[in-house]
Copies of this chain bind each other. A is one copy, B any other.
């Protein structure tokens, strides 16, 4: 049996997440049962939303101390007791933060041979699919609409904003630093980018949206949501995708003022979604994303880290805003 290194949750954070909230544990790799495969993890991705499970208020059951940290990864099948898979196949699934995982064949999906795990976990994975369905299905942007994306240099945001541009929208990105703002406008084609840390942010937001906001793709909640609420056009849509401003704490703040009052006065729809509800349409989305990425219309950003040991700090960096695009840890 090969040795299996696992990154576990050492303690549930009471304040901001630190690398010391995780601990490495080593043991023998498990053996696959009937209908299962043994997977060797090649890469995992970390998303800000995973922080919510460590608060106990997310859609997934709250995490507990001592558990292996959950997460999506790309893996190579080492041994298979399921007819659909053979040793050497590439697969994607919830490997968790560990070298080896035993997964039910029903819970994994095949990955085309030769696909870079970073592409599979980013543009073709949860991030790209979330951006695609959240923007197009929940946000329903029309050509000429003004679309605002928060955490716009992040894993989902940078893709959502570029898809909005592809649909003929005027796109404003909100990010946390001048460097990220420059990336959005100079490299990714956003029309405008604003830093929410700028003391003049509220005024800049108003000036950047002279025609109001038709779709606000919200990855952050908090102050940016508060600013967007005040600029929503009649019948505007707020796509509730993430709440990164409130993840890295045990006590999320109240929502901004103006909910529900401003939703009524501008007849705004504010809607939460989870990408898993769109599973039967993933193929359609991946076809589009592969095509856009293939001919350079969609640029996919990746922040890479090396080794399982690096995963806790990668998560801390992500929450501190030190990464752009999809955060990938190669094992």
Q: Does A254 contact B (CB under 8 A)?
A: yes
Contact A261 B243 (CB under 8 A): yes
Shortest distance in angstroms between A41's beta carbon and chain B's nearest beta carbon? Answer: 27
Q: Is A7 among interface residues, defined by CB-CB distance under 8 A?
A: no
**Which of B240, B265, B269 contacts A59, CB < 8 Å?**
B265
Q: Mark A246-271, 1 if CB is under 8 A from B, else 0.
A: 10000011111111111111111111
Question: Digit string of A52-65 for contact with B (CB within 8 Å is 1, else 0)?
Answer: 10000111000000
CA distance A60 to B252 in the complex (A): 33
Chain B residues within an 8 Å CB radius of A256? 254-255
Name A265's contact: one of B58, B254, B266, B270 (CB within 8 Å).
Answer: B58
Task: Report whether A261 and B246 are in contact in the complex, using a CB–CB cutoff of 8 Å.
Answer: yes
B261 touches A52 (CB 8 A): yes
CB atoms of A264 and B240 under 8 A apart: yes
In the complex, residue of chain B having the shortest beta-carbon distance to the beta carbon of A263: B272
In the complex, A218 has a CB within 8 A of chain B: yes
- Tell me the minimal C-beta distance from A131 to chain B in angstroms: 15
Question: Which single member of B255, B258, B260, B274 contacts A264 (CB below 8 Å)?
Answer: B274
Which chain B residues lie closer than 8 Å to A274 at the CB level?
264-265, 267
CA distance A308 to B218 in the complex (A): 48
Asked whether any CB of chain B lies closer than 8 Å to the CB of A213, the reply is: no
Contact check, A253 vs B242: say whether CB atoms are below 8 A apart.
no
Tell me if A73 is interfacial: C-beta within 8 Å of chain B: no
Instruction: Assign chain A's interface to a size class.
Output: 35 or more
Q: Kindly list chain B residues whose C-beta atoms are within 8 Å of the C-beta of A268.
A: 271-272
**Residue ID in chain B nearest A230 by CB atoms:** B57
Docked Cα-Cα span, A246 to B258, in Å, equals 10
The yes or no answer to A221 lying at the interface (CB within 8 A) is yes
User: Which residues of the partner chain B approach A267 to less than 8 Å between Cβ atoms?
Assistant: 271-274, 277
The answer, among B59, B254, B265, B266, for a CB contact under 8 Å with A255, is B254
Query: A277 to chain B: which residues have CB within 8 Å?
Result: 267
Taking the complex as formed, is A69 at the interface, i.e. its CB lies under 8 A from any CB of chain B? Answer: no
CA distance A143 to B14 in the complex (A): 43
A243→B270 contact, CB < 8 A = no
A160 adjacent to chain B (CB < 8 Å): no
Decide yes or no whether A311 CB sits under 8 A from chain B: no
Complex CA–CA separation, A242 to B261 (angstroms): 7
Q: A225 within 8 Å of B by Cβ?
A: yes
Contacts of A262 in B (CB 8 A): 57, 272
CB distance from A3 to the nearest CB of B (A): 36
Contacts of A258 in B (CB 8 A): 57, 252, 255
Contact among B241, B252, B263 with A271 in the assembled complex (CB-CB below 8 Å): B263
Contacts of A270 in B (CB 8 A): 259-260, 263, 269-271
User: Across the interface, do B252 and A254 meet the contact criterion of CB distance under 8 Å?
Assistant: no
Beta-carbon nearest neighbor of A49 in chain B: B264
Residue of B nearest to A225 (CB): B260
11 more CB-based (< 8 A) A-B contacts, given A255-B257, A260-B272, A262-B272: A57-B265, A241-B264, A253-B254, A260-B270, A263-B271, A266-B272, A267-B271, A267-B272, A269-B269, A270-B271, A271-B271
